[in-house]
Amino acid sequence: MNLNRRDFLCKSTALLAGMSFSSCRKFWEDKKFKVIWIHLEGAPYRPLFDLWIDPLNQNSLTSPTVTSKAYQIRGQTISVPDLLFKEETPSPLLKNWASIRGLETTSPHLQECREEWLKTPDGLPILEELTREGKKTTSNFSTQMFTAFPDDSNILTKKSGPELSQIILKGYKDRNFEEITDLSEENLAFLNSFYAYLLKRLEVLVTQLEKIQQFEKTMIIVTGDRTKTVVEEKSPYPLESTWQGHNFSLLSGAIMGPLNIGHIYKEHPKYAKSYPGTWGVGNEQWRPTHFHSLLKDLLGLGRTEENPWLRLNSLNQIFFKVPQGIIL
């Protein structure tokens, strides 16, 4: 049937008028993702990779151990770690990358920090709860994920379920991240080697997902149990573990990046001691429980206002509830 423009507009308007608002809303809210969750246990130093402390060059204070390059996109300049460049070419992941800063756990204790990320308040592993709630789904896409992360280390844990896969990395090669207590030349070389490995694996994974046209329907998330910050601006740059200043990364074909979300303090108003650079404590009370709500929303297991970062009722790209991060 051939329609001229006038007839087409008339018929489409009539069709839309016949649809109820509730059915339109349901269509918009049905957007969901397959989720790949990579969790780094032992707090490897994240500013080398995805904790972009001062992305818009608002402040000259940066980590003494991180060098960066300017990345030009959509009329603005963002400063990101050298590691995300190969010579002068930025990683293709940057255009689909969002780094979210400023999370904290409710306890400073190591075991409780880890449990808060990986378990529900009832003590059930969050992966089990989410896969149980999503048991009616049938697709399992972990093949692409696991081929991107080969079994080259005995400290690599992998788990998967319908629509959700999880990797827990406790270290790299023969070292645990927990052992790294300063940024000596040896430790810095080790961490850069690990993050180069992680970046390459992510690029392989994204290439695989793009080939099967699944990257826009997939959310890759990189979290960590705690974070480490430099506490002295002199070699070997000792590190202190903290339950504040966490960050996590989102990578998806549905994200127009790079984005840096979350306002952070240069000097936290609660503490008299200043840390070198900006160590990432946020002015919002974002917790791992909010992250669990985000997972639930991404998997389509129920919309909740407890996810403070993303609006998922988008026909194409997702929308962020909060603006680009600034330093306070």
Tell whether 301 is covered by a domain: yes
Tell whether 122 is covered by a domain: yes
- Cα→Cα distances 259→31, 38, 62, 74, 297, Å: 21, 19, 18, 12, 20
Tell whether 182 is covered by a domain: yes
- pLDDT mean values, one per 10 residues, the chain (328 residues): 48 40 40 89 92 64 72 78 90 94 90 92 84 59 69 63 83 91 95 95 93 92 91 87 91 92 78 61 90 91 80 76 84
Pairing of strands 171-172, 239-242: unpaired
- Residues 119-178 have pLDDT tens digits of 988 888 888 888 777 665 444 555 667 778 776 554 566 777 668 888 889 999 889 999
Contacts 24+ apart (CB under 8 A), 148-152: 148/201, 148/202, 148/204, 148/205, 148/208, 149/201, 149/205
Q: How many domains does the chain have?
A: 1
Domain that holds residue 284: 33-320
Q: Report the CATH number at residue 122.
A: 3.40.720
Q: What is the pLDDT of residue 224?
A: 94
Q: What is the pLDDT of residue 28?
A: 45
Please give the Cα distance from 38 to 221 (Å, whole number): 6
Tell whether 233 is covered by a domain: yes
Q: What is the pLDDT of residue 13?
A: 41
For residue 128, give the 3-state DSSP assignment.
helix
Beta partners for residue 277, in sequence order: none
Please give the Cα distance from 202 to 206 (Å, whole number): 6
Q: What is the pLDDT of residue 309?
A: 94
Tell whether 141 is covered by a domain: yes
Q: Are 52 and 80 a contacting pair, CB within 8 Å?
A: yes
Q: Are 317 and 256 a contacting pair, CB within 8 Å?
A: yes
Please give the Cα distance from 126 to 292 (Å, whole number): 8
Tell whether 28 is covered by a domain: no
Q: What is the pLDDT of residue 234?
A: 85
Q: What is the pLDDT of residue 56?
A: 61
Q: Are 123 and 244 a contacting pair, CB within 8 Å?
A: no
For residue 292, give the 3-state DSSP assignment.
helix
Please give the Cα distance from 150 to 148 (Å, whole number): 6
Q: What is the pLDDT of residue 152?
A: 59
Q: What is the pLDDT of residue 128?
A: 82
Tell whether 3 is covered by a domain: no
Q: What is the pLDDT of residue 164?
A: 87
Tell whether 267 is covered by a domain: yes
Q: What is the pTM of this model?
A: 0.85
Q: What is the pLDDT of residue 269?
A: 67
